[in-house]
Structure 1
């Protein structure tokens, strides 16, 4: 370039040579600057992509940073996340680093249940043609940020309705099979204590029929697998299991499994859940299902729900699985007509509000109470409020946490779907 300029300046042929010399320098400088700026922007784009990948990758669902953040008892810097983000950035940008030194600043912090990452960079990209005008480099910079809402810590209190009405056959075909094979056309596998000649034995051992409580038990055990698959830390979810009692002589809230994060132990304990047994047909006037008692007794056990941001401040969830029909002694407060104090009614929603007042979420899986139009008892006492059963349960449930499932659908699938809706899979935004 220097020789070319000397040649042009030495030209004496006329003004054209001088003009060309004067114009050539800025033209070459402008063209060179354009090429160098284009190259610098390409480098910046690649560095920006590396920053984006590092910011998001450092706080991905299974990242060390998220696990570390959930284990923290206070807000602050997540050091392992910063190291991870820096490695991710350098790995993505390694193709540019040999010729372009890059300054990288990384910050990963936890505030509440939000983990945030920011990756910023700056570099001076060397020029080529622009050096004719003394410009040896072009500065580039950029940043990327991402946020991850951690899955909250939750305690689930499973209340499984195991009262005699849950002894109904689990599918329409099996209901018909029970009706066909019982002298009084009964669809329920009534469980008489110490009897080997009851409808429970007929369903289980002769007709090989699954009752609804069988399906609910299996579905609850399956739910423990779902909890394990979706947790970030081993203690993120804990679960306790309760029933209405093993037999009608000791009706009351009965703990099947204590509150544990060891889901294998919860599943093992739940295998013992079975249909409530009664001493004889018509025992205690069949008053075996008191939602009022169960919900009242559970309130102090569950306690006050927290934010779920830390292990010590856990959200509390009551997960009720039921066919929704109460049957207890309530001679004066029953919402439906009684007979000798026997109250058959849909769940009384007034007993749900105290739990909600304790910041407890209520998730309800309604296993549809099937109409039994050939049964005189059903027609007289249950049919008048059949349409209200689901309505009351939905009113009891927290917003969006009600699900109705019939045997033609899958109770296990429905329980899993409701569980996943409760925990709300966390998301990354960048």
Structure 2
């Protein structure tokens, strides 16, 4: 009994006993920190792999994006799991390359925006926590990425090819034409800078017309520059596309002949941009039956109405089935048409024994608004109508509304889709600049 009492009162071995009791939780706690630290490191690496997989799943050249281009609206996109999983596993190295990971990838399209979600989970074996009965740790996470699909655009090129586009393209060309016409034709049309394209009512071309003279002396006229600019634009459009058939193009002029000045189709809507580039050879100056034929064939009202009828539908540009329609208008903004419903002072022109109403006014914005109300956008390349203060006809009929010409052209355009260039400056460069501005503009998705 005495020995037992001494045993309980003896404190000499307490430290060793306590240490033995505390050793297990101490090792377990330290091991827990190491195991959790390792798990945290692995998770961070897996999150990085998930980020890469989320981005890779909707990369421009991925199958998901290609399939999304074909969707008429919103919905899920069928994704090749092997493709995204290979991207995920491609980011893993060392022990991660052998780690069994469950990967789930979802891709959905909404308002032209693709969203990918990559979820993962992996089970890690513990090292020290087994002492506490914990044999494994599960790590999981999610990564998302978004991609706005390219805008699918239908361009309707509306090109002013009326007689006013027969002026020399540069001061040098103007001088060439004036020098070549110093004596005129039968005492008329002297010192002329316009290359009128004369074709008789029977269809016979006047070989001595200034249009042919301009070609003979190597003088470039404005419509030639516009035609070349459209052809060059097709190359730009082709190089700018991020996916096949992103842009569809068509081209129209105000008409081939003054005797039948109706919208002329140079090329119907096509994704074959190279073919449309070749079709620009058909863009020529509107012909007139004689040099003294009334110059009243620039009917913007009729041209805008005609192009509006060509556009059957427009959308948001989110897919090939939902293309955004854009009218690309190139002109100097001054209407000169044979009609009496004129918003400016009406004059008359003589044709034989007839006195025909002649309306000269800036482009009527109401016709532009009618098109825009449908959701169609209008891009305007305004070739500056230069003042002619020494010309009596200009001073009487054009000068009074000269300030309205650029203002109306700007108002005709969709906000941000307006560009002005002098007729003697780089029309091709201006057209290219405006096109790039259009295709790079953010798309409104709601």
Q: CA RMSD in A?
A: 2.8
- Aligned counterpart in structure 2 of residue 192 of structure 1, from 186, 189, 198: 198
Residues 342 and 360 in structure 2, CA contact (< 8 A), matched pair in contact too: no
Q: How does 1:15-414 map to 2 (within 5 A)?
A: 15-73=14-72, 75-175=74-174, 178-179=177-178, 182-183=181-182, 184-193=190-199, 194-206=205-217, 208-283=218-293, 285-340=294-349, 341-407=357-423, 410-414=426-430
Supply the distance in 1 between the matched residues of 2:281 and 2:175 (Cα, whole angstroms): 27
User: Cα 1:227–1:81, aligned 2, differ >3 Å: closer, same or farther?
Assistant: farther
Q: Please tell me whether the aligned partners of residues 342 and 361 of structure 2 are also in contact (alpha carbons under 8 angstroms).
A: no
Shift of 1:16: 3.9
Tell whether the 8 Å contact from 2:326 to 2:377 is kept in structure 1 after alignment: yes
Kindly state the Cα deviation for residue 13 of structure 1 after the two structures are TM-superposed: 6.2
1:104–1:119 contact (8 Å) kept in structure 2: yes
Cα distance change, pair 13–170 in 1 and its aligned pair in 2 (3 A): farther
Segment of structure 1 superposing worse, 227-236 or 134-143: 227-236
CA-CA distance at 1:91 after TM superposition: 1.6
Alignment deviations for residues 291-327 of structure 1 (CA, whole Å, 9 cap, x no partner): 0111122222213423444544433221111111111
The normalised TM-score by structure 2 is 0.83
Task: Give unmatched runs, 5+ long, in structure 1.
Answer: 1-11
Normalised TM-score (structure 1) = 0.86
How far is 1:398 from its partner?
Answer: 1.8
For 1:403-424, what per-residue CA distance to the aligned partner results, in whole angstroms no more than 9, with x for missing partners?
A: 2123565322332333333334
Q: Does the aligned pair in 1 maintain the 2:79–2:106 contact within 8 Å?
A: no
d(CA) in 2 for partners of 1:273, 1:217 = 6
Q: Is contact 2:259–2:288 with CA below 8 Å preserved after alignment? A: yes
Structure 1 residue 180 displacement after superposition? 5.8
Q: Counterparts of 2:82 and 2:171 in 1: how far apart (Å)?
A: 58
- Alignment partners' CA distance in 2, 1:426 and 1:66: 18
Give the SS at the match of 1:345. Answer: strand
Give SS of 1:331's match.
coil
Asked if structure 1 preserves the Cα contact closer than 8 Å seen for 2:157 and 2:251, the reply is yes
Of the structure 1 ranges 51-60 and 88-97, higher mean CA displacement relative to structure 2 is found in 88-97
